[in-house]
Chains A and B, each alone.
Chain A
Amino acid sequence: MSTNLTPLTPQTEARIQDIGSAEVLVGIPSYNNADTVAHVVRAVSVGLAKHFPGRRAVLVNSDGGSSDQTPAIVARTAIDFEHLFIADQQSILHRIVTPYHGIPGKGSAFRTIFEIARRLNARACAVVDADLRSISPEWIELLLRPILEEGYDYVAPYYLRHKYDGTITNSLAYPLTRALYGRRVRQPIGGEFGFSGALAAHYLDQHVWESEVARFGIDIWMTTEAIASGARICQSFLGAKIHNPKDPSADLSAMLTQVMGALFALMEKHEVLWSRMEGSQPVPLFGFTYEVGVEPVHVNMERMVLHYRQGLADLEPIWRQILADDTFAQLRDLQGTSNTDCRIPDELWVQVVYDAAIAHRNRIIRRDHLLKALTPLYLGRTASFVHATQGLTSVEAEQKIEALCHTFERMKPYLVERWQPPAPQPAAPALLHHTSTDAGGDHE
C-alpha cells in the first residue's frame, strides 16, 4: 500500500483529529453550486439520520474554489428533523468543508474525499453531485446499505432517464464497458456512487491523480477500476435523475474527450483482463423499481447531421488515419438524402469505436486530436439513434441499446484481433478479497 498521503489543509487535518473515526461518509464535490447544494446537503443529512441513526457519520464537501458561497451554504444548512418525523437521531452528523488540492476537476475533489475516508477509517462511503435536484434521502440508503449490510464494495446508480438523456452513456460508455469487462453496469458514468473504505484506499493508491482522471474521467475510471480489481459490485435504483442543465453544445467535445480518453486509457491498462473476457454478466440491482414520467428532450437532428457531414468532408484525412479502410469506406457510402437523414448502423458504429481505440493505443495521431476528431462521428451516431427510436417508448428504446450492446460483444473478436499483442505484465491485482461472480436478476 502506498504511504503517500493526499495533502489536506491544516484546518481539515485538525477536524479529522477532532472527529477521530467514522463508520459512514458521504462526499459532495462542488464548484459554484450555490443554487442546489443546500438541497443535496439536506437530503444527505436526512438520509443518514433516517436510515443510519446509530452510525457515526461524516459529510464531506470537497470544493474547487467556488465564488458563490457554496462551502458556506454547506456549512450552515440546517435541517428540521422534527418535521421529517425523525425524532430519535442518535448521532451528530459531522461536517467537513474543505477545498481540494491538485489539478482542478471532479477527480481531485474525489481524491480528497477518499483521503478523508481513509483517515477516518470509514467502512462505507458515497459520493453525490452537488447539482442534483432530484436527490432524496432514500438515495443515501440505497448507495450505502449494500456495502454495510450485503458486503458489496461498489454501488453504481441506476436511473430512469429519457431515451435521449445520457447519449454518451447509451452509445459508448455502457456498451463498451459491458463488452470489455463483462459486467452490465447500466450507468458507469452516473455521478453518484457508493463504495467501501477498502476500495477508497485502493483508488488512492493508483497513480492517476495527475492525469485526465483527476479532471472529469473519474466516473468511468472508478467503475472500471472497481470491476478490474475484483470488487463486488451492484447497482441501486435511484429513480429519475434531474440536475442543473449544462450547455450541451459548449461541453460536448470536452465531455466526449474525457470519457473516451479515460475508456481507451483504461483499455491499455487492463488489456490482459478484457482480451480474454467473453460475453457479459448481469449485475445485481437493489431498490424498488418503478416507472416515472421523465422530462421531454428536444433534439435538433439537422444540426447533428450537418455536423457529421462537415466532419466527413473536412476531417477525411484524419478519419482515414484513425479508421480502418473498410470502416471509412462504409461511412462514405452512407450519404443520406435529406438534412436530417443519417443512419450509422450498430455494426459500423462498433467498428468505429474499436478502430478509434486501436488508433489511440497505437498513437496514430496526437491523442487529444484523435478524441476530438470523433465528435462529429458521435453526433452522426446520436442522430442515427434518434432517427431509429423516434416514436418508440423508453422500453423499446432500451431494447435498441441492448441490441447495440450485443453487437459490441459479438464484434469483440474484431478488436482483439487488431489490438497489438499485449506486453507481458502481471495479472490484474486481486485488490479486494473476492472476485465478482455475483449474478443477480437482469433488470435491464
Chain B
Amino acid sequence: MAIISVRDLVVEYEGRRILDGLNLDIEQGETMILLGGSGSGKSTLLRQIIGLERPKSGCVHVKGVDITQCSAAELKTVRRSIGVAFQSAALFNSLSIADNVALTLREHTRLAPSIIELMVWMKLAVVGLADFGKLFPQELSGGMKKRAAVARALALSPEILVLDEPSAGLDPIVSAELDELIVLLKEAFQMTIVVVTHELPSAFRIADRIAMLYKGTFSSVGTKEEIRASTNPRVRQFLDRIPDEMAKTPAVAAYFEKYLQSPEAN
C-alpha cells in the first residue's frame, strides 16, 4: 500500500486552477521527485501533501489517513511522521541551530535534556554540521542553512522526508553534496523521500521515480530511465531545455513590428 496517495486532487486559488485532478501513489521507501518548471504547481502539490492547505476537491492519504478531511489532532499525529525542509530553510532566526533541531524533541518527547542534546548532535553530525550547533541561522551560508533545515526535519526520525527545492540557489558543488546527503539518508534510514525540484542533475541523481508536472497535471510519471526515454513533448522540452515559442507568436511579432515603426523607437 502506498504511504502517500493523491486522488483526483483539484486546487484553485481565487478561481484559477493550479492542480487539475492529480493522481499519484508514492510507495514506502522510494524517492519521488516532483519535477516541473516554475508555476507548474509542484510546490502547491507539496503543500497539499504536508497538509498546509485544503484542496477544492480530491483527497491526499498519508499513512492511510485522509489529511484533507481528518481532525486537527489526527493531522498533528500524521505530521509527526513527516519531516519537512522548506525552500527558504525556514529556520527560526531567534534560535541557535541546535535549538532549532531540538525544538520538536522538546515539544513532542519527554526525553531528558542530556539525551536531547546528544540526539541533536547526532542529527547535526548526519548533515555535517556537528560543530556549528551554537551558531544562529543568520551566521550560516545558504548550503549550511539547507543542511540545518534537513537536520531539523530529521529530528523526530520521520518515516517521510519532504524537501522543497533543496538545491535552489546553491552552487553545483554544495548542490551535489546535498544530493549525496539525500541518497545517504535514504540508504541509512529507509525513508520515503519526496523532493520538489527543477534541477535535472539532482533529480536524476536521487530519484527512484519522477513525476513531471506541467500546468497542474502530470505530463509523465515513471522511473528516471522511463523519463529520460520519454517522447512526451513537454518532458522532452524540459529535459532538452527548449524555450517556449512565445516570442515567435504572431501577436508578439506584430507588437514589436508596430513598436519599431513608432516615433518612440526612432
Determine if chain A interacts with chain B: no
Interfacial residues, chain B to chain A (CB-CB below 8 A):
none
